[in-house]
Amino acid sequence: MSANSTALRRKRAATAGFHLSAGTLALLWLLPIALVVVTSLRSFDDIAANGLGGLPRSFTLDNFRQAWVDGGQQRALINSLIVTVPCVLVTLALAAMAAFALSRYELPLRRSLLLLMLGGNLLPPQILLIPVSKLSELIGVYDTLPALIGVQIGFGVGFYVFVLHGFMRAIPAEIQQAAVVDGAGPWQIFWRVILPLTRPALAALSALSFTWIFNDLLWAITVLRSDTKMPITAALIGLQGQYVSQWNVIAAGSVIAAAPTVAVFLRFQRHFVAGLNLGAVK
């Protein structure tokens, strides 16, 4: 009886300890986000007088209006979506087809191709900034959204092929053989057999690539220079002045800029976690 109750008490203490420490960690994790949200609701005079860390003494929603209208975030958000949505669709379509061919058929050079794609991913993007901007100028697409879409697709596709290849390779060969026996051609096998089986991977990758492309700043400022074409990330640093930064407006802008990715995350939450170990086990 007493041994039993000691064990019970120990178990309870362990549970309490776990919740306490996990709760503290979660709070610490949320603290910066809370700070941004609180700052986005304060007036500039309040921040200038009491500092960013001071207790809020004002409440205003005007910062969101300033970021949205004066800061040009409305247009920037539209630009971001014009770039991000086609990029995700096209990249995944191309990557899925390439991965299908590379994983399900004995194509010549398939290993070299995969290594080339992997190698491209290992290359730091910084060294390609000048070639990319000069090349887009040469083709005559510099400072247009299609240029940014093209660059994003080009840089994304290698990684997605690599991940999808790993996933598709794990699909048993018998399924494909059965389809062949039933008279399915390669296109039908891809569309009706392999693609439906790859859906979890595609969902996870689309959520990941949406956040990556949406949050990108580097390529945007490399191939664009007109403020009317800049995506949301570039508009966000545009809120920063040359010397003085209005932290309240910047915080409001950050909240606006983060909203779409948070929405995507909440929608695809399940796949996000699944995506973390995609291709990890071969």
Partner 1 sequence: MTHFQPGRRRFLAGLGATGTAALLSGCVTSSSTSKTSSGGAVTLQSNLSAPQAKAAMQDVVAAYAGKKTGTVSLNTVAAETFRTQLPTYLTSANPPDVYTWYPGSVADAYAKKDLLLDLGDLWDGPELKGYSKALRTLCTATSGKKVFVPATSYWWGMFYRKSHFEKWGVRPPTTWDGFLGVCDKLKSKGVAPVGLGAGGNTAWVASAWFDYLDIRINGAVYHRELLAGKRRFDDPQVRKVFDRWREVLPYFDPNGVAGAFQDATTALLNGRSGMMLIGTFFADAAPKDVLDDIDFFRFPVIDPKVPLAEEAPTDGYFASARTGRRDGVLDLLRYLATAEAQETYIKGSSGTVLPCHPDAQDSGTALVRKGRAHIEEAVEITQFFNRDSSDALQPTADNALAKFLAKPKEIDGILRDWQRDAEKIWTA
Where do contacts with partner 1 occur on this chain (CB under 8 A)? Answer: 44-46, 48-52, 66, 70-71, 106, 108-109, 111-112, 116, 130-131, 133-135, 137-138, 142, 221, 225-228, 230, 234, 237-247, 249
CB of 15 to partner 1, least distance (A): 41
Distance, CA of 95 to CA of 76 (rounded, Å):
28
3-class DSSP state for residue 189? helix
CB of 122 to partner 1, least distance (A): 14
- State the Cα angle at 52 between 50 and 53, rounded to 5°: 85
Q: Which residue's CB is nearer to partner 1, number 186 or number 238? A: 238
CB of 26 to partner 1, least distance (A): 28
Q: Which residue's CB is nearer to partner 1, number 106 or number 174? A: 106
Report H helices in 71-144.
73-104, 110-122, 129-139
Using the CB atoms, write b or e for 248-265: b if 16+ within 10 Å. bbbbbbbbbbbebbeebe
Q: Which residue's CB is nearer to partner 1, number 119 or number 185? A: 119
CB of 3 to partner 1, least distance (A): 55
Distance, CA of 168 to CA of 255 (rounded, Å):
38
CB of 65 to partner 1, least distance (A): 11
Quick one: which of 92, 36, 114, 42 has its CA closest to 210?
92
* Number of other residues whose CB lies within 10 A of the CB of residue 39: 21
Q: What is each CA distance from 184 to 29, 176, 197, in whole angstroms?
A: 51, 9, 16
Distance, CA of 175 to CA of 201 (rounded, Å):
18
CB of 116 to partner 1, least distance (A): 7
Q: Which residue's CB is nearer to partner 1, number 64 or number 268? A: 64
Q: Which residue's CB is nearer to partner 1, number 149 or number 249? A: 249
Q: Which residue's CB is nearer to partner 1, number 16 or number 170? A: 170
